[in-house]
Amino acid sequence: MDSGGGIQIPSRLPLLLTHEGVLLPGSTVRFSVDSPRNMHLVSQRLLKGTSLKSTIIGVIPNTRDPENDTDDLPTLHKIGTAGIAVQVVGSNWPKPHYTLLITGLCRFSVSGLLKERPFVLAEVRMTTPSSLEYTLNCFSMLDMSVPVVAKFRRLLDSLPREALPDVLASMIRTSNKEKLQVLDAVTLEERFKKALPMLTRQIEGLKLIKKTRKIGPDNEKRVTNICISPFPFNNVLFPGRQFNLDEEDEDEDGDDTAALERKVHGAKMSEAALRVCLKELKRLKKMPQSMPEYALTRNYLDLMVELPWSKSTKDCLDIRAARTLLDNDHYAMDKLKRRVLEYLAVRQLKTSLKGPILCFVGPPGVGKTSVGRSIARTLGREFHRIALGGVCDQSDIRGHRRTYVGSMPGRIINGLKTVAVNNPVFLLDEVDKLGKSLQGDPAAALLEVLDPEQNHSFTDHYLNVAFDLSQVLFIATANTTATIPPALLDRMEVLQVPGYTQEEKVEIAHRHLIPNQLEQHGLTPQQLHIPQDTTQHIISSYTREAGVRSLERKFGAICRAVAVKVAEGHRVTKTEASSPEDPTQQEGKSRSSNCGRLDPVRLSLPTCAVPPELPIVIDHVALKDILGPPLFEMEVSERLTLPGVAVGLAWTPLGGEILFVEASRMEGEGQLTLTGQLGDVMKESAHLAISWLRANAKTYQLTNMVGGPDPLEATDIHLHFPAGAVTKDGPSAGVTIVTCLASLFSGRLVRSDVAMTGEITLRGLVLPVGGIKDKVLAAHRAGVKSVILPKRNEKDLEELPANVRADLDFVTAANLDQVLNAAFDGGFPGTASTHTHPQLSSKL
Ligand SMILES: Nc1ncnc2c1ncn2[C@@H]1O[C@H](COP(=O)(O)OP(=O)(O)OP(=O)(O)O)[C@@H](O)[C@H]1O
């Protein structure tokens, strides 16, 4: 078949059904092929054929629903363009597909379908172009007063006339719909009628741009070049949707690089970043959209324009207001709040503060994160939390290089993108849980972030240009400093946040936790009342924690149970209103006073027959019904009923704990067995304790199995530290092990209300240990009455809340004599001073 212009196409053509672009004669378009029919066409026709004829295919535009073309063939567009596949590229990523480069030859109309599978084969007829005289008439329509148009006209003069409308339509920026109209215009006159308004619109748009926007000489040159250049036609940048300069969304096949370029210039980024962006933009313009790298570059540029290079919030710091806000948000924590206020005050006086990074260290649930949030509120800044727990890849902090597949920026840059300002408060949560792996050390990457000397030029691998982090206020939280790398710790000011006492917890519960939970569950204080003694019971019998998180959860459980009752009550009230004569309800009314309390029977009923009397008061019985039987009991006195048991105090990242030490002896050859997952230091403490007792056995009248003075003769000893699955280490159990063994060898019971901590030496001295506050709070929680501590830890007692100090007796011991004397009722025989109550006992 001859087109009249010398082009011949076969009368039967395999059809490529496209949904993403319109091929016009004279233009070259890249199509991505992934639907089954099109894939078959490529593999069975284009890749197998050997003649030129086999590379000619028909391209039918705008096929609906490309994904579903395994179903019935959709109604095809009647007019298509025959084209030569000049390039076929196959790829398996992200899914198997081909990319075809097709140059349009001429129009055809489909006269009949020959087969539908595996690909569509159709009988086609070329459409004949009409007389050329209109073409010349149309040319006169061009506005030659515009120099660009004049140049353009000269260029068009060199093209075959009948090719002009198609060439025009494919080079200027139009929607698929408009291109389809040009394709459908079979007569040349009609085609010109369709294409010319588009050209005029484009020219007007360019003129408008020139008027409304200052454009640099480079830009202008580019715009002019595009206007006068007839090839290549597709995927070439054409500046924006010129008739609506503010419009951000592009049409589906639109080339929106112009809008992107505007955003790049408007992002107020650093000079280096702008240079990189412009370079990338230039590459982007040359890339076909179907190339995978196009999306990568596009994403990169989108991120660059979204980053808050120079967008910040204004600090509105008023120290008095900050104090009120901190006090309102958090009960107790006086030391922490004082330090935070100092920090804020200095910030107020000196705005460009390269201040220390605050690191709140304490057990879970003591309010570290929520203080960080309050600081952001007092400053009027955005808040963003970065959870670092388990992060073991440094690219999590610094991002991946863009050469990696699936590369992303790090959490710092992502956070900045999220908050969209460059001076937020970043809370680096759980810095002590950073890991290390083959992918590098994230803690090392954090060094640069947290160092005020370096962080003004933080370079994320993905961005590859420096971003200024000096305005960001970093706050870190951790459960312990032991696992924070020293270099990182050195850059931070550690503020200890200890656990709460029972009284503090009760206050926190009634001021914050209960009102919060009521609100979250849609309840009011008029509907639910939790008395103070119930709260105390929950704290002592249902939770054993330094913070208040688990306590808050218990209140949540109570609220849920009550919400069911209240909701049922509503339902009943409504029914009651609709049938006031119902006798069962009359009966219910007389019982309604019982329904106010949640007793076990009533809670287990599927519905409450009458609305409960409000407020519903939670007493111990209702508590047991909702939360089950108590989880913890005061076990100290029960476990100290035999010789060879003593209570120690341990510190863990989760707060203080009481720790039992048990010893037993049996006939043997003097072996010591230690169990309970002990670390080396703790094992050494046990050996030290045994050695000291052997050396002083005579003084203290200790005996072995056979009654001799060496405790190990004919005797094996087993020392066990219960909660055997939990690893324990550290020297502070020394005094407890000595006391436990002294009890075993003397056959006397250790006082059941005493707990102790302290490191020992071979000479019987007691050395100071850490975590005194948390340990004493744990002893207080467990109902202990007296605590034995090293003399040199006496100063730490000042940090304790007054009520704890009043409730407990403290014995400060410098040597083991004093420890044993205080641990046994009536003192210990052989010690320097045997008293009923030790002289060092003090009530601070
Ligand atoms: N002193 C307090 N006053 C009022 N509410 C508090 C106080 N301490 C903790 N809370 C509340 O306890 C809950 C847990 O606090 P938060 O999440 O801040 O604990 P955290 O110390 O950050 O714990 P983690 O170490 O597990 O992250 C929050 O709802 C918080 O409001």
The answer to the question of whether 364 is labelled as a binding residue is yes
Residue with tokens 């994230």: 442
Higher pLDDT, 141 or 14: 14
CA distance linking residue 253 with residue 289, whole number of Å: 10
Tell me the pLDDT band of 535, cut-offs 50, 70 and 90: very high
The answer to the question of whether 212 is labelled as a binding residue is no
**Are 14 and 119 contacting, i.e. CB atoms less than 8 angstroms apart?**
yes
Tell whether ligand 1 has an atom less than 6 A from the beta carbon of residue 505.
no
Q: Is 49 left (phi over 0), alpha (psi -120 to 50) or beta?
A: beta
Tell me the pLDDT band of 427, cut-offs 50, 70 and 90: very high
**Are 653 and 729 contacting, i.e. CB atoms less than 8 angstroms apart?**
no
Tell whether ligand 1 has an atom less than 6 A from the beta carbon of residue 332.
yes
- What integer is the mean pLDDT of 311-329? 86
394-408, 443-457, 479-493, 820-834: which has the minimum mean pLDDT?
Answer: 820-834
Ligand 1 probe mutation, 370, 497, 502, most atoms within 8 A of CB: 370
Report the Cα 95 to chain-centroid distance in Å. Answer: 29
Q: Is the model's pLDDT at 606 over the cut of 50?
A: no
Active site amino acids? 732, 775
Q: Is the model's pLDDT at 4 over the cut of 50?
A: no
CA distance linking residue 779 with residue 800, whole number of Å: 12
Ligand 1 probe mutation, 329, 337, 366, most atoms within 8 A of CB: 366
The answer to the question of whether 174 is labelled as a binding residue is no
pLDDT at position 386 = 92
3-class DSSP state of 659: strand
Tell whether ligand 1 has an atom less than 6 A from the beta carbon of residue 45.
no
| Cβ neighbour number for residue 268 with a 10 Å cutoff | 11
Q: Is the model's pLDDT at 111 over the cut of 70?
A: yes
How many angstroms is it from 330 CA to the middle of ligand 1? 9
Q: Is the model's pLDDT at 692 over the cut of 80?
A: yes
Ligand 1 probe mutation, 374, 385, 548, most atoms within 8 A of CB: 548
How many angstroms is it from 425 CA to the middle of ligand 1? 18
Tell whether ligand 1 has an atom less than 6 A from the beta carbon of residue 398.
no
CATH of 12-126, one of 2.60.120.10, 3.90.850.10, 2.30.130.40, 3.40.50.300: 2.30.130.40
Q: Is the model's pLDDT at 540 over the cut of 70?
A: yes
How many angstroms is it from 782 CA to the middle of ligand 1? 22
Token pair for 287: 């890339």
Nearest CA-CA partner of 392 in 439, 447, 460: 439
Nearest CA-CA partner of 624 in 524, 537, 525, 526: 537
How many angstroms is it from 363 CA to the middle of ligand 1? 10
| CATH class of domain segment(s) 636-842 | alpha beta
3-class DSSP state of 636: helix
The answer to the question of whether 355 is labelled as a binding residue is no
Atom of ligand 1 nearest to the CA of 497: 21
- Give me the CATH topology for the region 502-627: Helicase, Ruva Protein; domain 3 (1.10.8)
Q: Is the model's pLDDT at 415 over the cut of 90?
A: yes
Question: Using alpha carbons only, what angle is made at residue 563 by residues 562 and 569, rounded to the nearest 5 degrees?
Answer: 90
3-class DSSP state of 183: helix
| Cβ neighbour number for residue 724 with a 10 Å cutoff | 12
Token pair for 41: 């066409």
pLDDT at position 379 = 85
Q: Whose CA is nearest to atom 16 of ligand 1?
A: 367
3-class DSSP state of 202: helix
Tell whether ligand 1 has an atom less than 6 A from the beta carbon of residue 524.
no
Higher pLDDT, 605 or 629: 629
Domain ranges of the chain: 12-126, 319-496, 502-627, 636-842
Atom of ligand 1 nearest to the CA of 370: 18
Tell whether ligand 1 has an atom less than 6 A from the beta carbon of residue 548.
yes
Q: What stretches of 753-815 show up as alpha helix (H) in DSSP? A: 772-781, 802-807
DSSP letter (8 states) at residue 313: P
Nearest CA-CA partner of 196 in 257, 151, 152: 152
62-76, 643-657, 716-730, 757-771: which has the minimum mean pLDDT?
Answer: 62-76
Report the range out of 356-370, 694-708, 719-733 with the highest average pLDDT. Answer: 356-370
pLDDT at position 258 = 82
177-186, 251-260, 264-273, 552-561: which has the minimum mean pLDDT?
Answer: 251-260
**Are 696 and 687 contacting, i.e. CB atoms less than 8 angstroms apart?**
no
Tell whether ligand 1 has an atom less than 6 A from the beta carbon of residue 512.
yes
Q: Is the model's pLDDT at 176 over the cut of 80?
A: no
Atom of ligand 1 nearest to the CA of 504: 1
**pLDDT, tens digit (0-9, with 9 covering 90-100), for 563-600:** 888 887 765 554 544 444 444 444 334 333 344 444 44
How many angstroms is it from 321 CA to the middle of ligand 1? 21
The answer to the question of whether 368 is labelled as a binding residue is yes
Tell me the pLDDT band of 558, cut-offs 50, 70 and 90: very high
Atom of ligand 1 nearest to the CA of 371: 18
- Give me the CATH topology for the region 319-496: Rossmann fold (3.40.50)
Residue type, 717: I
Tell whether ligand 1 has an atom less than 6 A from the beta carbon of residue 374.
no
How many angstroms is it from 342 CA to the middle of ligand 1? 21
Tell me the pLDDT band of 611, cut-offs 50, 70 and 90: low
